[in-house]
Amino acid sequence: MHRRELLGLAAGSALVAHTLQGELAQAQEYFSTISVPGAAAGKAGTVTGSKGPLQRGTDGRLLRMGSLDLESQQDFTLAFRQMHARQIRVAANNAFQRLLEAEGIDPTMPLSVEQVRELVAKDPAINFGVKCWLSNQQITWKTLQDYYHQNADYYLAEMEAADKSGPGALVLSPAMTIPDYARHEIHIQPGGYVGDPFAGHIYHYGTNSFYISQYGHNEQDEIHRSMAGQMPIPADGKVKRILDMGCGVGQLTVALKERFPDAEVWGIDVGGPMVRYSHLRAARMGIGANFAQKLAEDTGYPDNHFDIVTSYIMHHEMPADVTRKVIAEAQRVTRPGGVYYPIDFKSGGTRTNPRQMYSRWWDHRWNNEVWSLEYHSMNLTDEVAQRGFTQVQNATAAMPGFGVRHFVRTA
């Protein structure tokens, strides 16, 4: 997802009248009401399209998918996600409730992940919803990957041409050693972020249906543009350079460049295919955001270089020790008085109520959110606060329902 703990926040359940559902509802309500300038087709930021036999036009700033069948398959998986949330998950929750009652477990009692694993092994019925969700997720990815691989030369040529074009820069590092932690197929996306040449294409279109089913439309980057709009700036008002760590397909990077057109904006990501797609997309929109293949824990930028450093749903996709290194790197490259705002889920806590822990477990294990349990084993906000940043109190949430982590680099 973006780097998304896909079900963790989506565990809508009558059983869980708890923070998770509250966060999701809050976010859904928020995104159902926002209006993003230029989001309608044909307005500023509209893509100009690409040449080639597979062009099917544009929908605002989104290039339409390359074939009608692919578009329809994605349309189906979106509908299935929505139906799953409304019906299948409810049935699974009911099965879970029955299991808890049979086992005499209080549904509000915090359990560890080990306790939940033991519990769910006793009743396949509660896993039916997970199986359906995962099968649909696999189809989402497979249809996209198949399409791009069937048309590989065309799309590789398109990226090659864009690699050298502007207005923004692209820096690839093919000799860079990719750490093992970043080579996993997060969200069971085939190839993950580094292993498929079309990782960016696949991720972008695959996550569109995810966003629609969970938060609201994002085909015009509505959610990322909203986040960029909420991004706080340094007290002195100076914003010359911005860094977006773990930028994925560059949606937040581009949105930040749109908000701060005079600033030098960089999006970095470990995945070469991800930054290539990010750059291609930005170039197509005529937006001068820059992209580089870099590790967030070792950016190579000079000390005190950036006025704003941010990231979006990156930290839950890396081990806790890497997160600590990333925070240290952010502290190094953020100028005194500059803003550091890592956007990610609320974290902290290795025990929670059974239904929520079940969601966390299966998302971690079977949706391949390899590092999410480590993420929840620490408190990201506290980690940042301990490393040379001052937290701004009563700050605004850049992403409703997520952790509010507005920090200022201390002098």
- Name the site residues for another protein (rule: CB under 8 A): 68-69, 71-73, 75-77, 79-80, 124, 127-128, 130-132, 134-136, 138-139, 143, 145, 148-150, 152-153, 156-157, 160, 172, 174, 178, 180, 183-185, 188, 190-192, 194-199, 272-273, 276, 293, 366-368
CB 137 within 8 A of CB 367: yes
Judged by beta carbon, residue 13 or residue 189, the one nearer another protein is 189
In the bound complex, what is the minimum distance in angstroms from residue 411's beta carbon to another protein? 40
Alpha-carbon dihedral angle through residues 306, 308, 313, 317, given to the nearest 10 degrees = 30
* Pair 288, 166: CB distance under 8 Å: yes
Cβ proximity to another protein: between 239 and 318 the closer is 318
With vertex at residue 331, the alpha carbon angle to CA 328 and CA 334, rounded to the nearest 5 degrees, is 145
Q: Compare residues 80 and 402 and give the one whose CB is closer to another protein.
A: 80
CA distance 371 to 350: 13
For another protein, the closer CB: 195 or 288: 195
Query: Least Å distance between CB 266 and another protein?
Result: 18
CB of 357 to another protein, least distance (A): 17
Residue 42 Cβ vs another protein, minimum distance, rounded to whole Å: 21
Q: Which is nearer to another protein, 116 or 231 (CB)?
A: 116
Q: Which residues of 240-269 are buried (b: 16+ CB within 10 A; e: fewer)?
A: ebbbbbbbbbbbbbbbbbbbbeebbbbbbb
Helix (H) or strand (E) holding 30: helix 19-33
Nearer to another protein by C-beta: 75 or 321? Answer: 75
CB nearer another protein, residue 108 or residue 150: 150
Nearer to another protein by C-beta: 60 or 272? 272
Q: Do 362 and 116 touch, CB atoms closer than 8 A? A: no
Q: How far is the CA of 109 from the CAs of 104, 125, 304, 353, 360, in angstroms? A: 11, 22, 46, 5, 15
Q: At its nearest, how many Å lie between another protein and the CB of residue 368?
A: 4
- CA pair distance 396, 406, nearest whole angstrom: 8
Burial of 326 (0-12, 13-18, 19+ CB in 10 A): buried
Least spacing, CB of residue 152 vs another protein, in Å? 3
Cβ–Cβ under 8 Å, residues 272 and 173: yes
> Dihedral of CA 196/198/201/205: which sign?
negative
Between 53 and 237, CB nearer to another protein: 53
Q: How far is the CB of 321 from another protein (least distance, A)?
A: 18
Write down the least CB distance from residue 255 to another protein, Å. Answer: 24
Q: Min. distance of Cβ 270 from another protein in angstroms?
A: 10
Q: Which residue has the tokens 């049979």?
A: 102
Nearest to 390, CA basis, from 321, 348, 341: 341
Note the residue count of the chain: 411
The amino acid at 103 = E
Strand spans (E) along 15-129: 58-59, 62-63, 111-112
Minimum Å gap between C-beta 388 and another protein is 33
Question: Which CB atom, from 30 or from 154, has the smaller least distance to another protein?
Answer: 154
Strand partners, 319: none
